[in-house]
Structure 1
Amino acid sequence: MNIAYFLTPKNSVAYLYDDSTFRQGLEKMRRHGYSAIPVIARDGAYKGTVSEGDFLWHLLDAEKTQDAPLSMKDTEKLHVRDILRNNTYPPVRITASMEHLLSNALNQNFIPVVDDLGKFIGIVTRKDILRHLSKSTDFSTAPQLQKIV
């Protein structure tokens, strides 16, 4: 099955630019209620995903090194790219196999999708994958599930 079937396109996904401020990132995540959000460059290249934990750990680490907590004014000087960790949400290409998609979905609540040039084109959510699998699987004939029920 083609993963484009599951794709939520970029224009329907909240994302951050890597040059967004720390504060802008927090505000956008709060507004949308997300625990993680994709980060892209201004040219559309996927840079990674930042999570609530990344923001929290940066705040705690900054407090240790500065002997004082960061003020809101300080967060306007930091950029999302400063707290971005590598490979936390590895992207897949639009041509990826369903097995690859499922493998990533085990560890991520969404999978970023990029084109052949590494440009961010959208996400596939774990929820959409599970919804599809639940529609295409006959649970009444699954022996393991019959024992549970």
Structure 2
Amino acid sequence: MNIAFFLTPKSEIIYENTESTMRQVLERMEHHSYTAIPILDRDGKYIGTLTEGDLLWKIKNTPGLSFRNTNKVLVRDIERRKVHEVVTINADIDSIIGLARNQNFVPVVDDEGVFIGIIKRSDIIDYCYTFINEKKKIG
């Protein structure tokens, strides 16, 4: 099965770019109740995923940094503590199932590394649940 079936396109998700401020990311994540958000560069290439934990560690490890002055910190200056693996649109379902075990979503890029969307863990779980139930009906 082609993973495009599971793709939530870039136009339907929230992401930030490396030039955004920490305050912008915090507010966007809070507004949408997200715990992680994809980060893109100016060319639309996937750079990584920024998590709530990354933001907390940045505040903890930066003397004098508080919510009030997070507008002075750029996303590109926030260390990401975990590498979120990506797949290309040509990947197979087996490769994304393994990644989704440890990631809320799997970023999808084209052959040039340009971000085209995500595959949500919940969509993969729904697919697996339906597949299992269909097998039970047949077998």
- Residues 101 and 111, structure 1, Cα contact 8 Å, conserved in 2: yes
Equivalences for residues 28-43 of structure 1 within 5 A: 28-43=28-43
TM-score normalized with structure 1 length: 0.85
- Residues 15 and 38, structure 2, Cα contact 8 Å, conserved in 1: yes
Partners of 1:87 and 1:59 in 2: CA distance: 17
Aligned to 1:145: none
Pick closer, same or farther for the CA change 1:71–1:104 going to 2, 3 Å: closer
Structure 1 residue runs of 5 or longer lacking an equivalent are 142-149
Partners of 1:122 and 1:48 in 2: CA distance: 13
Paired letter, 1:52: E
Matched residue SS, 1:43 = coil
Aligned to 2:86: 91
Q: 1:88-110: per-residue Cα shift (whole Å, max 9, x none)?
A: 21111111121110110111010
Q: 1:54-106: per-residue Cα shift (whole Å, max 9, x none)?
A: 000100001xxx3x44351x311111111142752111111112111011011
RMSD of Structure 2 on Structure 1 (CA): 1.8
Determine which of 117, 126, 129 is the counterpart of 1:131: 126
- Residues 54 and 81, structure 2, Cα contact 8 Å, conserved in 1: no
Paired letter, 2:111: D
Pick closer, same or farther for the CA change 1:121–1:54 going to 2, 3 Å: same
C-alpha deviation, 1:43, in angstroms: 1.1
Aligned to 1:70: 66
Structure number with larger C-alpha Rg: 1
- Residues 59 and 69, structure 1, Cα contact 8 Å, conserved in 2: yes
TM-score normalized with structure 2 length: 0.91
